[in-house]
Structure 1
Amino acid sequence: MASRKPSTDDTTHKLKEDLHHLTQTIEDLVSATADDSRSNIKELRARAEKRLKETRDRLESRGERLYDEARDSVTHQVDACDRYVHDNPWTSVGLGAAAGIVIGMLIGRR
């Protein structure tokens, strides 16, 4: 059974939800500091720290996953380019020469 990759929209929605929960907990903590009840403040502080750690862990995990996906995509594209150059060396030389001529003409206009 293949696992479904979360889409960018799903990831963005989950991130917004995590940040909303974290913000709400921090707002509760700030509101509770107006009250002098020490046990209430300790409980809200513990909740805020827990949510902050969970959110940080999720963000790190998502960042690592996005980095891995980008690295794999770039590696695949580099491999495809390398195969094309090896399969079509004269076409590649021609494209390189044409690009060099165009760049040379643009620089020469200055």
Structure 2
Amino acid sequence: MANRKSSTEASTEQLKADLRHLSQTIEELVKATADDSRSNIKELRERAEQRLHDTRERLEARGEKLYGEARDSVREQVDACDKYVHENPWTSVGIGAAVGIVIGMLIGRR
């Protein structure tokens, strides 16, 4: 769990750095536009486009990774719950009945 957390923090820091670099490049592009130096504008524009592309790819990869981790975690929890219910059927029935009674009491109070 600690490994996932440090991985998430590292990814967050990388994303912040990417966004910082992208915003700096865009600021440079805006400043260069004021000079109206055609070669300078073209170079900065290409750098901005490349950084935007790189940042987009990283965001997509991070989103896919987070989705996969969440899916795996939920699958593990479902498997553990299923295993528990199969190993302890009467306990599971008792828990379900208790939850049903509590919900019924809460609904009945309204």
How far residue 9 of structure 1 moved from its aligned partner, in angstroms, is 1.3
What does the per-residue CA deviation read over 1:27-67, in whole Å, with 9 as the maximum and x for residues that have no partner?
11111111111111111000000000000001111110111
Matched, 1:82 2:78: no
| CA–CA distance in structure 1, aligned partners of residues 23 and 29 of structure 2 | 10
- For 1:95, give the aligned amino acid: I
Aligned partner of 2:68 in structure 1 is 68
How far residue 85 of structure 1 moved from its aligned partner, in angstroms, is 0.4
Q: Could you list the runs of 5+ residues in structure 1 that have no partner in the other structure?
A: none
SS of the equivalent of 1:47 reads: helix
- For 2:100, give the aligned amino acid: G
- For 2:35, give the aligned amino acid: D
| CA–CA distance in structure 1, aligned partners of residues 82 and 11 of structure 2 | 33
Q: State the 4+ residue runs in structure 1 displaced beyond 2 angstroms.
A: none
How far residue 23 of structure 1 moved from its aligned partner, in angstroms, is 0.6
Q: Percent identity?
A: 75
SS of the equivalent of 2:36 reads: coil
Aligned length: 107
| CA–CA distance in structure 2, aligned partners of residues 36 and 15 of structure 1 | 31
| CA–CA distance in structure 2, aligned partners of residues 107 and 26 of structure 1 | 57
Matched, 1:109 2:102: no
| TM-score, structure 1 normalization | 0.93
| CA–CA distance in structure 2, aligned partners of residues 14 and 102 of structure 1 | 47
| TM-score, structure 2 normalization | 0.93
Aligned partner of 1:21 in structure 2 is 21
Higher helix share: 2
